[in-house]
Chain A
């Protein structure tokens, strides 16, 4: 994938180190010593695309420059707010330090050169192996004025699952943040009424966390017991 090109044809080399989120061993999901295939010793690190060096290509540099300039005008050092910038598969991602998220979002919305008017909500991702930053909140912002789409990613540790709310900037995030709270337990500080939205109000736990089981029962099919989906072999 290192020769992948972004939308404007400028090669976007990736940081070789990337972001390690886990290590897989073996191949056939048989982790109890039953794997006699010889693949049991296989070790594979799971790496997400790492930071991209400049230039990002196309309008990505323009957006990054404008954002950094606008943050500096507000006496906020861009390198403090933007942890890293990733260009992958023609999409631009800013990893934002969580305490600066509202400032960055407001700047992205209001700056005439940026104008990301539409937020398409927040999506939670739980990386169990990403120690110290397990919970990720991912926002996609669309600029109708300029016809652009960018992604903001914020992370929080499992031990302190707090992210500032963006409802004051994008009121549409009201239900989206409730949904992410409901499923991941991410607490959006400053949300006007952060309650469960899908699950019953008295539900215990946060179902879409990776350590929350799917549940289900074994089913008999043609005389054989077919285990529940989360008990079946998962090819690692």
Chain B
């Protein structure tokens, strides 16, 4: 099919399409004719301040941005399509790579959806749910740290970048300790978790909370009252409540417009209604307000993490139903994490039924009753919704992620038009888009 942006023409080598961008001659010509200072600037897709492969198309008049548009899709990897060709458990391996800065939110949202379709929400062990909350809140801290760090770096504030990545490293160390991986964990599985906490993890978690309580005030000292920082961020990236609602912006953007909408409070999941924490808001509708909200949310996350540690009671981390629970057990081998030798000895040596069960569940997977469900979690960026459809088979029929970055990025034009070119950077940074999530 052809579109006005892709005109085909026949050559000896076959049909050649001229896609968007090929008409620059005409654009330049008409710009010359119009006899003014308007220039169209392409920022990205490879630009250090566009958070990945985001292409910004700015029409500028002097230093003023008169029109701003986004070009996305450069990081589209077809995850949603791929999911339809793997079993339900393998799905976590894919979804964790969507918004790669918030893997645990992707995994948990997906697994909550699958569990709802299976009708086993009530059978998920408490320990698994508490650990999911714990990991999600740790992840919220690491995601906000990246946002603040890279946002600062884009303003030229390299110290805050170093601080941010220093503290994020502490979170990633914990992730590595608990899941074995720094990113792309696939640790949350339908039915529970892949594994229990390793020995010593609770002590490390307590140590982390202590360190972060010491480190978080440094951001306040460095940035919150800093006149340069404030001059760059205040009244920049303005989007009021009406704009947020119309454009579907959620997360810190919506809360910076003064609405305390947080799914953890308004539509709780994973038992968030039983935790004590506050939802910070600002009334400035600008990038500075979003910065303050992210800082405060990290403090609130630390509160939740402390409550999680206190609640951790010994118990299983996977649903008891052996028709769903992953049969393989992991053990720490000399070459890293691998299959438990005891488990292999049992299925290969003593129990043929166990071997059949293992083989069936791993190669074929479990069947999920037909139907559809929508589950949403409050990711650091906003409402992360997952629409899961099953046709009763062993593979997802359709999984759609409503990624908050994708929706929030639409607000870029509203935030940037009429502002300065330099403020585009600040506005985009305050949206905190991650292209892995936007493009999927």
Given A46-B391, A171-B247, A229-B85: A199 in contact with B76 (beta carbons within 8 A): yes
Say yes or no: is A37 at the interface (Cβ < 8 Å to chain B): no
Say yes or no: is B283 at the interface (Cβ < 8 Å to chain A): no
Give min CB distance, B437 to chain A, whole Å. 13
Cα-based distance from A142 to B365 in the complex (angstroms): 33
Say yes or no: is B369 at the interface (Cβ < 8 Å to chain A): yes
List CB contacts (< 8 Å) of A206-236 with chain B.
207-208, 214, 229-230, 232, 234-236
Please tell me which one of the listed residues B82, B246, B372 contacts residue A229 in the complex, with CB atoms under 8 A apart: B82
Say yes or no: is B67 at the interface (Cβ < 8 Å to chain A): no
Cα-based distance from A173 to B406 in the complex (angstroms): 11
List CB contacts (< 8 Å) of A15-42 with chain B.
21-22, 24
Given A89-B117, A197-B72, A198-B76: A121 in contact with B371 (beta carbons within 8 A): no
User: Digit string of A97-123 for contact with B (CB within 8 Å is 1, else 0)?
Assistant: 000000000000000000001111101
Q: Is the Cβ of B248 less than 8 Å from the Cβ of A147? A: no
Find chain B residues with CB under 8 A from A73 CB: none
Stretch of B1-9, B189-197, B199-207, B421-429 on the interface side: B1-9
Nearest to A194 among chain B residues (CB) is B3
List CB contacts (< 8 Å) of B391-407 with chain A.
391-395, 397-398, 400, 402, 406-407
Give min CB distance, B227 to chain A, whole Å. 36
Say yes or no: is B80 at the interface (Cβ < 8 Å to chain A): yes
Find chain A residues with CB under 8 A from B250 CB: 118
List CB contacts (< 8 Å) of A117-149 with chain B.
117-121, 123-126, 138, 140, 142, 144, 147, 149
Say yes or no: is B271 at the interface (Cβ < 8 Å to chain A): no
Q: Is the Cβ of A123 less than 8 Å from the Cβ of B402? A: yes
Cα-based distance from A204 to B86 in the complex (angstroms): 25
Nearest to B410 among chain A residues (CB) is A175
User: Digit string of B236-256 for contact with A (CB within 8 Å is 1, else 0)?
Assistant: 000000000111111000000
Q: Is the Cβ of B387 less than 8 Å from the Cβ of A147? A: no
Give min CB distance, A226 to chain B, whole Å. 13
Say yes or no: is B95 at the interface (Cβ < 8 Å to chain A): no
Give min CB distance, A224 to chain B, whole Å. 15
Given A172-B247, A175-B410, A208-B81: A196 in contact with B3 (beta carbons within 8 A): yes
Q: Is the Cβ of A214 less than 8 Å from the Cβ of B374? A: no
Q: Chain A interface: which size bin?
A: 35 or more
Cα-based distance from A230 to B249 in the complex (angstroms): 36
Stretch of B134-142, B165-173, B215-223, B259-267 on the interface side: B259-267
Since A121-B402, A234-B393 are in contact, a sample of 13 more A-B pairs with Cβ atoms closer than 8 Å, ordered by chain A residue number, is: A89-B371, A117-B245, A120-B374, A120-B376, A121-B248, A123-B400, A144-B266, A147-B266, A175-B407, A198-B76, A199-B76, A202-B8, A235-B364
| Interface residue ranges, B against A (CB under 8 Å) | 1-3, 5-6, 8, 17, 19-20, 72-73, 76, 78, 80-82, 84-86, 116-117, 119, 245-250, 259, 261, 266-267, 364-365, 369-374, 376, 383, 385, 387, 389, 391-395, 397-398, 400, 402, 406-407, 409-410, 439-440
Give 23 CB contacts A-B under 8 Å: A4-B119, A24-B393, A48-B370, A89-B371, A91-B373, A120-B248, A121-B248, A121-B402, A138-B387, A170-B246, A170-B248, A171-B248, A174-B410, A196-B73, A199-B76, A200-B73, A201-B3, A214-B82, A214-B85, A229-B85, A234-B393, A235-B393, A235-B394
